[in-house]
A and B are shown apart, each in its own frame.
Chain A
Amino acid sequence: MDTYLNVIFHGPFLFVVHPDKVEVLAPDIEKHEFGIGTWQQEMPCYPDIYTLNFPIPLQNGPLQIPNAPTYVSLDSKKFPDMNILETAAYQFVLPLPSSMMGLGLLTLSSTSIFTGPDTNNVETVPLQISSAHLFSYKIPYAIDTNNRPQLKGRVFSWEPELLEVGSNVAAANLHIFCESAFDLGESHPAHVFQQMMNEVLSGVSLSLVDPFPLILKFDPNPSAIGLGISDDEQGGLRGTPANITYKHIGSEQGLLVPPRICDAPSLVVITS
């Protein structure tokens, strides 16, 4: 049986992939609710540095970036002035995972989502962008009480609860939310993205188009099931978008549902 620890980030984050670790950074965004934990049992959390530790170190090699990623990535070499600010309110330090994957895939009405002088330096802007991001750790040993991985902050800790998913996979899924439960308006993604650039990543001149393109479709990433992640777990705080169309007086439109309400894209920065 394959055993996985899956760390799933919901909402806009900066993921910095170093040769030996991954740093995940987020500003403290007003009206976003931060929470960490097992699916649907997450606890509220507060600005801090959270570290994922494996008592028996994993020997994962350099992270392989897929040929057609579903996340927006920047190559740090193209941004000589790039500065990743160590003062981010929320910081997560993870060992290198065995795989990385975009979840909760959004098809937008336009792929032109950035403005600013550095727009052309963005490495990839996928046709579908991820609303959640997975860092998956394949664990090559049996987990017991002495060697449980742990996410730890100053006053917070989480230990995995392994669930058997099907006959061949056991998984513990750690969800980390930075999202709003409510609709914060059309300009919210642009504001959040700007805040992230101001407070977490300087030296990159990049903004989001405002209003952000409409989301036409939400698809779970089918590859996640093999790692023990259900489709529901790819949704936002309020779940996956319902397949309902409401009639506004005089018009018709789909639901403005999560992740629409905080769908500023995350950025993946690859450092060498």
Chain B
Amino acid sequence: MPHSAEATGPTPFFLNVIFHGPFIFAMYSNRIEVLVPDIKEHIVGAGTFKSERPCLPDIYSLIGIKTDQSAMVNLDPKHFVLDANKTKFQIASESYYRFILQPLPYRIIPLGLLTLTSLLVLTGNDARSITNPPVFGSAHSFTYKIEVNKDEPQLENMQWTPVVRSGDNVNSINLHIFAESPYLLDLLHPNRDFTSLVAYLAGLSLDAQRPFPQVTSFVPNPDATQYGITKEEQGGLRFILDASPLVPPRICDAPSILVTNAT
């Protein structure tokens, strides 16, 4: 079902916190914690698109959001979702990088949609506990409704000046967080990424297909435009939009996992 940004009244204004690369998104009742492992080939940076600054391993918190987000919109099916109420595992209390998003966003939008040669991506005893969509996001936007003179978004621990972009009937501030490689890596790279991710979910028996299936198409999510996210912003570090066999996001296309009902 298509998204529907507010169509009447003042120009809608959104903050989009956009994660590129493989992450664990642990959704607690009042916040989302984003866990990032230490992956040698990946570089981590955050900021306005193409002006991002490198990030050192640390905890980074989104602050300054005062507008009520109401109840979060139901999750888009184009995510890998693991319900913590239905499967036994432990979310690591520490991670190499951690981004804390509070409050919960208005919605989570999958971006840079990938289709693979194989529908089956995950293996292991717990693979059946995770939704395995045929098309899934290579990037994820945590989108907040914001208002001028009310919200002052900042990423604590990071020097970032929010930049307002005015588009067609929408204003937006987009904060990009990359954890990717700018270069082509070996075919088992996505598997190593995924293993590093799953290590943060102790007790899960989960792996990715080896080698990871090839990407057959990469399509920007058209629904993101109404929230002020351009097509280019849905790509990876090298923002390549055409599907081709071994280019970003192929170079680090291990899927991210959304963990719901985290406690």
Interface check A239, CB cutoff 8 A? yes
Residues in A whose Cβ lies below 8 Å from that of B232: 242
Size category of the binding interface on chain B: 20 to 34
Contact B51 A44 (CB under 8 A): no
Q: Say whether, besides A237-B238, A238-B238, A238-B239, A44 and B43 are in contact (CB < 8 Å).
A: no
Interface check B127, CB cutoff 8 A? no
Residues in B whose Cβ lies below 8 Å from that of A257: 50-51
The residue on A at minimum CB distance from B247 is: A40
Looking at A19-27, A73-81, A111-119, A177-185, the stretch in contact with chain B turns out to be A177-185
Q: Say whether, besides A182-B52, A242-B50, A242-B232, A248 and B182 are in contact (CB < 8 Å).
A: no
Interface check B226, CB cutoff 8 A? no
Contact A183 B182 (CB under 8 A): no
Contact B182 A237 (CB under 8 A): yes
Contact A37 B48 (CB under 8 A): no
Interface check A155, CB cutoff 8 A? no
Q: Give the shortest distance, in Å, between B162 (CB) and chain A (any CB).
A: 8
Contact A182 B43 (CB under 8 A): yes
Map CB proximity to B onto A244-260 as digits: 1 under 8 Å, 0 otherwise: 10111100000111100
Q: How far is the CA of A257 from the CA of B43 in the complex (A)?
A: 17
Residues in A whose Cβ lies below 8 Å from that of B166: 247
Q: Give the shortest distance, in Å, between A35 (CB) and chain B (any CB).
A: 4
List residues of B (166-194) whose CB comes within 8 Å of A's CBs: 166, 178, 181-185
Residues in A whose Cβ lies below 8 Å from that of B246: 41
Contact A35 B51 (CB under 8 A): no
The residue on A at minimum CB distance from B48 is: A246
Interface check B240, CB cutoff 8 A? yes
Contact A181 B43 (CB under 8 A): yes
Interface check A28, CB cutoff 8 A? no
Q: Say whether, besides A42-B184, A247-B163, A183 and B239 are in contact (CB < 8 Å).
A: no
Contact B184 A33 (CB under 8 A): no
Q: Which of A41, A185, A247, A256 has a CB less than 8 Å from the CB of B184?
A: A41
The residue on B at minimum CB distance from A36 is: B183
Q: Say whether, besides A43-B184, A44-B185, A183 and B240 are in contact (CB < 8 Å).
A: no
Contact B185 A256 (CB under 8 A): no
Q: Give the shortest distance, in Å, between B171 (CB) and chain A (any CB).
A: 10
- Number of A-B residue pairs at CB separation under 8 A: 79
Interface check A217, CB cutoff 8 A? no
List residues of B (30-67) whose CB comes within 8 Å of A's CBs: 41, 43, 45, 47-48, 50-54
B41, B184, B239, B240 pick with most chain A CB within 10 angstroms = B184
Q: How far is the CA of A247 from the CA of B237 in the complex (A)?
A: 23
A238, A257, A258 pick with most chain B CB within 10 angstroms = A238
Q: How far is the CA of A44 from the CA of B180 in the complex (A)?
A: 13
Q: Which of A43, A180, A182, A247 has a CB less than 8 Å from the CB of B183?
A: A43
Residues in B whose Cβ lies below 8 Å from that of A238: 50, 237-239
Interface check B120, CB cutoff 8 A? no
Q: Which of B54, B163, B184 has a CB less than 8 Å from the CB of A182?
A: B54
Contact B163 A31 (CB under 8 A): no
B50, B162, B240 pick with most chain A CB within 10 angstroms = B50
B54, B165, B183, B232 pick with most chain A CB within 10 angstroms = B183
Q: Give the shortest distance, in Å, between B245 (CB) and chain A (any CB).
A: 9
The residue on B at minimum CB distance from A37 is: B184
Residues in A whose Cβ lies below 8 Å from that of B185: 43-44
Q: How far is the CA of A165 from the CA of B48 in the complex (A)?
A: 35
Contact B165 A33 (CB under 8 A): no
24 pairs, CB–CB < 8 Å, chain A vs chain B: A33-B182, A33-B183, A35-B182, A37-B184, A40-B240, A44-B183, A181-B237, A182-B45, A182-B53, A182-B54, A183-B47, A183-B53, A184-B54, A185-B53, A237-B238, A238-B238, A239-B238, A244-B165, A246-B48, A246-B164, A248-B163, A256-B50, A256-B51, A258-B50
Instruction: Spell out B's residues near A (CB within 8 Å).
Output: 41, 43, 45, 47-48, 50-54, 161-166, 178, 181-185, 232, 237-240, 244, 246-248
Extra contacts besides A40-B238, A247-B165 (17): CB < 8 Å: A33-B182, A35-B182, A37-B183, A40-B244, A42-B184, A180-B54, A181-B237, A182-B43, A183-B51, A238-B237, A238-B238, A246-B163, A246-B164, A247-B164, A249-B162, A256-B51, A258-B50
Top 7 A-B pairs, shortest CB-CB distance: A182-B45, A35-B183, A246-B163, A257-B50, A256-B51, A182-B54, A44-B183
